[in-house]
Structure 1
Amino acid sequence: MKTIKLSLVAAALSSLFAVPALAADVQIYGRAHLSVDSLDNGVDSGTNVSSNSSRLGFRAKTEIEGGLEAFVQIEQNIRFDEGAGSWASRDSFVGIRGNFGTVRLGQFDTPLKAVRGKVDMFGDRIGDIRNLTRTSTSGSTNANIGNVFDERYKNGVHYQTPKFGNFVFDIHYTPHNNAGATVDNVQESYSMALSYEVKGFYAAIAYETFEGQNGLDPNALRLGAYYDVTSDFRVSGMFQSASDVPGGDRNVYGVGASYKMGDYTLRSQYYVADDNDAADSGASMLVIGADRRLGKDLTLYVAYGITSNDDAAAFRVSAGGRDTQLAAVPGKDSSGLSLGVQYNF
């Protein structure tokens, strides 16, 4: 990331309103993450180019009275593959931080989603854990269905405590996860997490619930952790228990590992989605890959993943942080071979 420090001095306004000049640190940053993928849903296959959570963002912060700091972020998805994008579609918020902690208002990831991001060995790539935690057996990714977590809720209010002995508590409230005003607070949601992090170790427990449809109030309990066995070898794992969701309760669990060898990193993970109320509705997902770093900002990688669906299941391998996905076919395995490039700036 490259920081551009701008002195926001408005001479004309200062003379008109007799206010002191303000100074802010402004940062422009982004990520270009694209891949060439051979995707197969067990019936059809094809070669695609996908832009994977590519973004352009702006951050600013200003020190104010009382030892406080005001900050803002505007971040949007950029479709490098199709020449499109959506303004402020990703984490976009304004907030204040100080000795009391941090408060934010806007649209941003929930604490439950943040846990998955810390332990996922293939975040935004083929084999992302969200292929199992976020997608219903019908293959839909509609948040209103209720079997969808790892969301970025609208109208969010978030409080994060200061660190207490390396513990941090987050709570996120959304009065209405939809556009426009509300008079009944339909789709009200809560998400919270308690995390512990020191160098080489991370562990967290999170809980999330929101008002769904058809009388259901989907909720999920999630546990996630990673541990650096050595400076080069990391193991990770996650468990999620989802309840009051269409089709019945479901558990998702698995482990991952990565090993660094100079500029190369080998990685793999294996996750399982148990059956819900329907027989043969589970799946397992295995993904392996290798990264090659070319400097601190550029990474090339290759990954292969396969999701093995039971007869009544239709989980993907290409969902989760990816703009190009291939729908799964019930009872058929979904697989993908991906060659990717990620450049951070």
Structure 2
Amino acid sequence: MKKCLSMFVFGGFVVTSINALAADGPILYGKANVSYENQDDGNSDTWKLQSNASRLGVKGAFDTDLAGLEAIYKAEFEISIDDGDKDGQTFSQRNIYGGFKQANLGALIAGKFDTPLKSAQGKVDQFNDLQADIKNIMAGENRTSNIVQYSSPRLFDAVGVSVAVIPGEEQSAGAENDGPADAVSSSFTFENDRFYGSIAYDSDIDDSLEADSSGDSRLNILRTVGKVRLSNFEIGAVYQLAEESDGPGEDTSYLVGGAVNLERWKIKAQYGLTEAETTNEELTLLALGFDYKLASKSKVYAYVSQVEADLADSEDSTFGVGFEHKFSM
């Protein structure tokens, strides 16, 4: 009897210790997003298994010896579920940073991660990480190295401000990009139960205009975003102006998308347009799809999309079916 009681007490102690460790320790999380797609670019028509930015990461926070100050960290990597090869690597770096957070002062982080302008899109993109992602027609979707960012606490539980600086780190004689803030990205966001809105600006960010073939450049980008949620409906829009900071190139982009949520079903659509001022090129994006929720963190989906370049006379069409599972522990 004593032996059984001792084993019971010991077992309870182990379970309690594991639960405490899991509660206070780092969080392992990830996402598996896999689709089977037919892709047709006008010259070739092929079927592919796509991994769609599937990822694995660890994140967490712990108290420092200064009252109210937390040390925070995140290390997230893209994994290729389809063939295990992401540009010649098994893991490809996504958002990775370390820093500090204080409830009344905000957060300061440094590393490689999405700029405030990219993050300002919120969840307006209905086809994020798929072939209908807005990155196929818009500049500004940057994950930047050597970036330091301050984010304010949520003011009135609704308003947030983020400002990031990126040093150029050029050390050659006469280098132009050798200062503490050669590029800057910032955003102002507002969100409540029914509305999300943001305005963001990038200055001298390394990027290229999507509707201009002039190649890599430094861009100034203004982006405004709005999304409204009413009952089972949601509709969002993006307006963006991107221009070369040292040249004549300029893109104007528009995006509108929406969805209807019917219990487990979500029916969604998206249309985007980018116009180049100097080349008169036009890029258009059109997508239609649906999701079916299997659980709170699992769904299956199907979609069709088309990305077209007018002057280049190119058209990429995709039909895909897939699934997405999110997990954390």
Q: TM-score range by the shorter chain?
A: 0.7 to 0.9
State whether residues 76 and 87 of structure 1, in contact with CA within 8 Å, keep that contact through their aligned partners in structure 2: yes
Q: Which amino acid aligns with 1:167?
A: V
Do structure 1's residue 175 and structure 2's residue 167 form an aligned pair?
Answer: yes
State whether residues 78 and 86 of structure 1, in contact with CA within 8 Å, keep that contact through their aligned partners in structure 2: yes
Counterpart in 2 of 1:38? Answer: 38
What is the alpha-carbon distance in structure 2 between the residues aligned to residue 229 and residue 167 of structure 1?
Answer: 20
Shift of 1:260: 0.7
Counterpart in 2 of 1:302? Answer: 302
Q: Partner of 2:276: helix, strand, or coil? A: coil
What is the alpha-carbon distance in structure 2 between the residues aligned to residue 5 and residue 194 of structure 1?
Answer: 38
What is the alpha-carbon distance in structure 2 between the residues aligned to residue 258 and residue 215 of structure 1?
Answer: 35
State whether residues 205 and 220 of structure 2, in contact with CA within 8 Å, keep that contact through their aligned partners in structure 1: no
Q: Which amino acid aligns with 2:200?
A: A
State whether residues 154 and 176 of structure 1, in contact with CA within 8 Å, keep that contact through their aligned partners in structure 2: no
* Greater alpha carbon shift after TM alignment, 203-212 vs 240-249: 240-249
Shift of 1:332: 2.1
Shift of 1:156: 1.0
Q: Alpha-carbon deviations, 1:278-326, whole Å to 9, x = none?
A: 13x1021110000011111211100101123212xxxxxxxxxxxxxxx
Q: Alpha-carbon deviations, 1:230-286, whole Å to 9, x = none?
A: 2x110000011001177721101021111111111000011111133113x102111
Distance 1:286 1:88, change over 3 A: closer
Distance 1:160 1:7, change over 3 A: same
Shift of 1:88: 6.4
What is the alpha-carbon distance in structure 2 between the residues aligned to residue 40 and residue 171 of structure 1?
Answer: 40
Pairing 1:147-166 to 2, within 5 Å after superposition: 149-165=140-156, 166=158
Pairing 1:250-265 to 2, within 5 Å after superposition: 250-265=251-266
State whether residues 79 and 92 of structure 2, in contact with CA within 8 Å, keep that contact through their aligned partners in structure 1: no
Counterpart in 2 of 1:333? Answer: 315
Shift of 1:26: 1.2
Do structure 1's residue 344 and structure 2's residue 326 form an aligned pair?
Answer: yes
Q: TM-score, normalised by structure 1?
A: 0.79
Give the CA RMSD over aligned residues: 2.4
Pairing 1:153-232 to 2, within 5 Å after superposition: 153-165=144-156, 166-176=158-168, 182=171, 184=175, 186=177, 188-210=182-204, 217-230=218-231, 232=232
Counterpart in 2 of 1:106? Answer: 111
Work out which structure has the larger RCO, using CA pairs closer than 8 Å and 6 or more positions apart in sequence.
Answer: 1
Q: Alpha-carbon deviations, 1:46-99, whole Å to 9, x = none?
A: 111111111110112112222111111111110111113554601111111111
Q: Which amino acid aligns with 1:113?
A: K
Counterpart in 2 of 1:91? Answer: 95
Find the structure with the greater CA-based Rg.
2
Shift of 1:182: 4.1
Q: Which amino acid aligns with 1:189?
A: A
What is the alpha-carbon distance in structure 1 between the residues aligned to residue 75 and residue 92 of structure 2?
Answer: 6
Counterpart in 2 of 1:69? Answer: 70
Do structure 1's residue 122 and structure 2's residue 127 form an aligned pair?
Answer: yes
Q: Relative to total residues, which structure has the larger strand share, 1 or 2? A: 2
Q: Which amino acid aligns with 2:33?
A: H
What is the alpha-carbon distance in structure 1 between the residues aligned to residue 272 and residue 155 of structure 2?
Answer: 32
Q: Which runs of 5+ in 1 are unaligned?
A: 9-22, 135-148, 312-329
Matched-pair identity in %: 26
What is the alpha-carbon distance in structure 2 between the residues aligned to residue 100 and residue 186 of structure 1?
Answer: 30
State whether residues 117 and 123 of structure 1, in contact with CA within 8 Å, keep that contact through their aligned partners in structure 2: no
Q: Which amino acid aligns with 2:224?
A: L
Shift of 1:226: 0.5
What is the alpha-carbon distance in structure 2 between the residues aligned to residue 185 and residue 6 of structure 1?
Answer: 51
Do structure 1's residue 54 and structure 2's residue 54 form an aligned pair?
Answer: yes
Shift of 1:7: 4.2
What is the alpha-carbon distance in structure 1 between the residues aligned to residue 91 and residue 131 of structure 2?
Answer: 25
Q: Which runs of 5+ in 2 are unaligned?
A: 1-17, 208-214
Q: Partner of 1:119: helix, strand, or coil? A: coil
Q: Partner of 1:294: helix, strand, or coil? A: strand
